[in-house]
Structures are given as structure tokens and as C-alpha cells.
Amino acid sequence: MLSKKWQTSPRQYDVVHERNVAIPVSAGFTLDCDIVRPNSPDRFPCIVGFFPFDKDNMLKSMMPVAVSGRNVSMESGDYNFYVRRGYAHVFVNVRGTGLSGGLFDHLGDGTTRDLYDAIEWLARQPWCDGQVATFGTSYFSMTAKRVAELKPPSLKTIFAPFGVTDQYRDAIFQGGIFAFVFHPFWLKSLSNLRVRKEYREKIGNAEFNRQIEQALQDPEINIHPELVQILQNPDAGGNMLIVEYLLNYLDTDLYKEKTVRFDVDVEIPGYFGGCWAMHSLHLPGDFRTFENWKGPKKLTIGPPLYLDRPVYQYHYESLRWFDFWLKRIDTGIMGEPPIQLFIQNTGEWKSAHEWPLPETQWTEFYLHENGLLSEHEILPHETASTFHDLPEDHGSLTFLTPPMVENTEVCGPMVLNLYASATDTEALWFVNFLQVDEAGNEKVLTRGWLRGSQRRIDPTKSRPWLPYHSHAAREPLIPGEVYEFNIAIVPTGVLFKPGYRFGIRIKCADKDDQATDFLDQHGLGHLWRETRSQVTVYHNNQYPSHLLVPITQGNRIGTFMSGGILK
């Protein structure tokens, strides 16, 4: 890759592949890896990826294809690209998977210590120049962010987009609601899985069995035969992981062990990012990482397509990154703005130096009668809207703006400050942020979730545009009482063209929603309730429900409720 002022490492080496190499770790076993390196007596920087999947699948040579359930775990990139340009590329199965020893703890402290040991072992090999970096998305990214906490001396940088950092909030209990479909599916993709059973050992068999029986009585759980089967057979396959989630439905130490600890001052360079389509999994973690990272950093949020498999779209960008930090080649990458954002409906990128964007005007769009969403002040006569959440019909409410008259860009995090009541003791809030084009075609751009009984926020960690829920206890609703629910909506970046509308749909279940593609499935598949409830959403002067919207371009004088048709 060339420009007038810089270039990247040229393609010049043949490839040597060492299979099933054992890396000793301090836990007393070995991790299995494949090492692919240049066919040269010279020493090279090492790029490593840690994962729980089939290692042979990571190393397949293939033309890129769209991501699907069949190939989703191929997240490590093509080793031919890096090795031929002067890097060793190493693929390591984490403990409890593949041919590696130990028991799988899913990003636990034991795994993280193994990764530290592996990085330092790789740095000492005769073909390595003592510098180690990471590359890869999803699990590769999550392991990289975690091991960076331990500050391995030889870890010089990480290239880690698309990576959850808070397992409870980002992946397992979104808004406190268990995402029960994704995790059993994901476990099936792991190789030779052997799961740690430390939670049962910690609390004892009697208490463990009591908690199992309690979970089996939960009406949100026992309506799902697959979850009942998992609870009744905790030792089968990877079931113990799902059982631990079901028994730990609050943000307990089980999840805190798996969460990236940003209070550690990690000062190595880090490259983060994702795509707008991954709002239901990785996107929050990468924004969180960029905000909290202490070292040099970059953030790139791309088109809502995730990446082809094996992931290659970041090859040249990562090469520029690695060449700069590991080979001291001035590739120009650090002279560019640190944030690059693809804006949907434009086909173009915008650059920035801060997130959220400094030009953001968070604007209150109020919920009004007849499904209107507008900046206009609530009128004195307005009251509320209702829907029924029933086993046979999970109703909803939709609120839309008038058509845009001008190009209006929305880019950043949102929050729905919702005043509502229910006749049940619980309300599971599912909020879809919608785009509706001139022809009336509707598209879900991003989502937010919140379990009503876990509505309490931590004011020390919250901001007006990003509430932080402690998820430390459940406080059942009193039927008929009005509560405020602050529902965070994952960021998006989109231009609403003239004639387009945006809005929200509010529901108490997602079981009837249809995924538009493979990526959209990640946003669905949560628990729901089979109770009968009448839900009331208030929009009056006492209870002014509103959506806080990050306007970054346009909407200079507000939307036009008179019709918004420019003659």
C-alpha cells in the first residue's frame, strides 16, 4: 500500500507453517497453537489471536464470503497477508478448548493469565523480535482487551475492533433481560469444550440445586423447553455456562471477573471500532473502550455489514497500524483524525477528534398523542397512550416524527426517558429506533432494552445521554404506579433525507419481531413474560416522556408538523 508520502511493508516472504505447537503456561498445562511465519532466518514482530473455536477453521484458505452462522467464528484474518509482509501470525486455542489444557472460564482471570504467559513465551522465540501484537474481531478482540490489563511487557499494541467489554450489559443480560437464543447457539461453535464448574463448587451442591429449582419455577424461563433441559442437565456439554447465567441474573462477581477493567492504566496503543449493525453485541464495548483507553487510540465505525469471512477488510488498515508501532515505519496513520465514522444513507465517512461528537445538540423529542414524536412542547390536554402485552398478542406503540424537510444527521448515543405504568409487577422494555423512508418502508437502526424492575441507575456513572444501570437488585413494580425508566439506546450514525422520518417502537417482548438478516438476529431472542398486562405510556406535563436525540447536522429550526413537504 502506497501514498505519495508513506508506504507499508512490501509483500516479499514465503510462508512456514508449524502446527500444534504447545505453549506452557503457569497454570500447569499447555495451550495449543499454530505458528505461521516468514521463511527467513530474520526475526519478526508477532501477531497473535486467542480464541475457543476450531483452529483448523481459522486457517482455511478461501475467498471472502458474507458472514453467516456457519462461518461467523472465522475472525482472525488471513495469515498469508501478514506473514508475506514480514510478521509472524500465531493462532492459540484458549484453555478448555481445542487441544489446549485446562477448563474454559469464558474470559475469566485464569484465561487472562494464560494469555499473558503465552505472549511472553512467543516474544522469546528465536523467530520473534520480542514484540507481540494482537489482531482479530469478537472473541479475539475481547481476549486482547482483557490481557492488556495485565500489561505483558512484550505486548506493544492491540488491534481489537468488534469486542464486548461488559459481558452482563453488552451480551448476556441486555438491559437486565437474558438473551437466551444467542448463547446456546454460540456454545455450539466452540471446539472440544470443557467447562469450568467453579460456581457450583463455590456455593456447594445443596445451594446449587436449590437455585436450579428456583430457576425452574421462574415463568420467564420454564416456558422455554430448551432452557428447562439445560437446567436439568447442567453437566452436559457447555450447559454449565448457561446455567450460571440463569442463576446469576444480576450483575454479580461472575460477570465482573469477565469485564474489562478500565481503572488499570493501559498505555499501549489500541485500535477499536465496529459497524452500526452490531448494536446488539459489540458496538457499546468499543465506544466504551475508546472513551476509557489511556494510550494512543483510534476508532472506526463502518457500514452496517460486519465483515466478510475470513475478516480481511481491516488488513491494510491494521498493517499501517502495525508497521507504525512495531516497525517504526511512518505510515501516516497517526496523522489522521482518531475517529472515522461511516454515515448511513450517505455512502461517506466523517472524521472526528472526540466522541460523542463535539457538534452534538442533544434534542428532546417528546412523545405526543396519535403517535407523534416532536420537539414541540407537550400540550395541556395530552395524557397517555396504552397497549396490551398478552401471551397471544404482544402489543406496541410507535411514535414517528413528521417528514424531514432538510438533511438531518443523527450520530451518537440516545436515551428514551419513559414515564410508564403496568398492571403487572414487571415490564420488559424493548425499544427500536426506526427509519421510515418516503415510501413508508421501515428499518430498525438500533435498539435499547431495560427490565423495569432493574430501572435504578447509578448517578455517579451516568450522563444525560448515557444512563448506567447498576443491575444490583430487582425492585418489582407496583401495578398502576407511574415510574420513570431511562432506556439507553445504542449509538447509530445516519442521515435522514428530506421525506424520511425517524421514531421509536415500544414493546414488552421481541418474540414476534422478524430479523431482516443474520446480523439482526443478534438483537432478538430475549426472554419474555406470559402474563397479561396493560401498559400505559404517559406524555403529559407531569410525565413528559421524551427521546433524547443527538442531532449533529441539520434540524436547524426543527421539524414541520404541518406536513414537512418542501414545494
pLDDT tens-digit profile of 19-75? 999 999 999 999 999 999 999 999 999 999 999 999 999 898 888 888 888 888 889
Note whether 72 and 218 are same-domain residues.
no
Note whether 373 and 499 are same-domain residues.
yes
Question: Which of 229, 252, 275 is the last residue before a domain boundary?
Answer: 252
pLDDT tens-digit profile of 425-436? 999 999 999 999
Which residue range is the domain that position 534 belongs to?
361-553
In this prediction, residues 158-187 reach a mean pLDDT of 95
Note whether 389 and 520 are same-domain residues.
yes
Q: What is the pLDDT at residue 567?
A: 58
What number of CA atoms fall less than 13 Å from residue 279's CA on the CB side?
25
| 380 pLDDT higher than 80 | yes
Whether 348 is in a domain gets the answer no
Q: What is the pLDDT at residue 164?
A: 97
Note whether 303 and 393 are same-domain residues.
no
Q: Which residues pair with 418 in a beta bridge?
A: 485
Residues whose CB is less than 8 angstroms from the CB of residue 509 and which lie 6 or more positions away in sequence, other chains included = 389, 394, 428, 430, 526, 528, 529
Whether 559 is in a domain gets the answer no
Measured between alpha carbons, how far is residue 351 from residues 54, 286, 411, 490, 524 in Å? 38, 17, 12, 20, 31
Note whether 157 and 60 are same-domain residues.
yes
Residues whose CB is less than 8 angstroms from the CB of residue 153 and which lie 6 or more positions away in sequence, other chains included = 120, 123
Cβ-based neighbour number of residue 63 at 10 Å: 7
Measured between alpha carbons, how far is residue 266 from residues 156, 163, 296, 542 in Å? 11, 17, 10, 46
Number of domains forming the structure of the chain: 3
Note whether 105 and 214 are same-domain residues.
no
Whether 511 is in a domain gets the answer yes
Note whether 203 and 241 are same-domain residues.
yes
Measured on CA atoms in the order 113, 115, 116, 117, is the torsion positive or negative? positive
pLDDT tens-digit profile of 68-126? 888 888 899 999 999 999 999 999 999 999 999 999 999 999 999 999 999 999 999 99
Note whether 195 and 266 are same-domain residues.
no
9: cell is 511493508
Whether 314 is in a domain gets the answer yes
| Structural contact between residues 148 and 158, judged by C-beta atoms closer than 8 angstroms | yes
In this prediction, residues 460-487 reach a mean pLDDT of 98
Whether 567 is in a domain gets the answer no
| 566 pLDDT higher than 70 | no
Measured on CA atoms in the order 286, 288, 291, 292, is the torsion positive or negative? negative
Mean pLDDT for the chain overall: 96
Note whether 187 and 38 are same-domain residues.
no
pLDDT tens-digit profile of 459-469? 999 999 999 99
Note whether 422 and 533 are same-domain residues.
yes
| 402 pLDDT higher than 80 | yes
- Helix/strand number for the chain, H first, E second: 12, 24
Going by pLDDT thresholds of 50, 70 and 90, the confidence category of residue 520 is confident
Whether 356 is in a domain gets the answer no
Strands 155-159 and 128-135: parallel
Whether 566 is in a domain gets the answer no
Question: Which of 252, 272, 302 is the last residue before a domain boundary?
Answer: 252
Spatial separation of the C-alpha atoms in residues 427 and 476, rounded to whole Å: 9
Q: What is the pLDDT at residue 258?
A: 95
Going by pLDDT thresholds of 50, 70 and 90, the confidence category of residue 564 is low
| 565 pLDDT higher than 80 | no
CATH number of the domain encompassing residue 279: 3.40.50.1820
Note whether 293 and 401 are same-domain residues.
no
Question: Which of 301, 336, 371 is the last residue before a domain boundary?
Answer: 336
pLDDT tens-digit profile of 293-313? 999 999 999 999 989 988 999
Whether 563 is in a domain gets the answer no
Cβ-based neighbour number of residue 322 at 10 Å: 28
pTM, two decimal places: 0.96
Residue for cell digits 414487571?
426
Measured between alpha carbons, how far is residue 37 from residues 48, 61, 128, 238 in Å? 11, 16, 9, 34
| 185 pLDDT higher than 90 | no
**5: phi > 0 → left, psi -120 to 50 → alpha, else beta; which?**
alpha
